[in-house]
């Protein structure tokens, strides 16, 4: 059974952009701001004190499974 919330294409793309930014973080105030807010509300990203978004562990897992199409436990 599918238990994860559906991510629109734009939100999957935003999740991937956050992953590409790695430790540097994705800045706020860009066109994908609404998607970053949604990803934050779902617990896939967190906003650091400097206003940049980085992946959470849940975000890394979701990025691997939905964007990279890796099975659980695959690196």
Domain assignments of the chain as residue spans, ordered by start: 9-67
71 vs 51: CA distance, rounded Å: 32
Tokens of 34: 């609404």
Mean pLDDT, residues 60-70 taken together: 91
9-67: in CATH 1.10.10: yes
Mean pLDDT check: name the lowest of 10-14, 15-19, 24-28, 68-72. 68-72
Q: Is the pLDDT of residue 1 over 60?
A: no
pTM recorded for the entire structure? 0.88
Asked if residue 59 lies in contact with residue 12, where contact means CB atoms within 8 angstroms, the answer is no
């Amino acid at each position: 059974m599918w238990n994860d919330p559906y991510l629109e294409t734009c939100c999957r793309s935003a999740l991937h952009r956050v992953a590409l930014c790695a430790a540097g973080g994705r800045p706020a105030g860009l066109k994908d701001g609404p998607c970053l807010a949604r990803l934050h509300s779902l617990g896939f990203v967190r906003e650091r004190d400097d206003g940049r978004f980085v992946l959470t562990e849940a975000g890394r897992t979701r990025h691997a499974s939905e964007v990279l199409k890796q099975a659980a436990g695959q690196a």
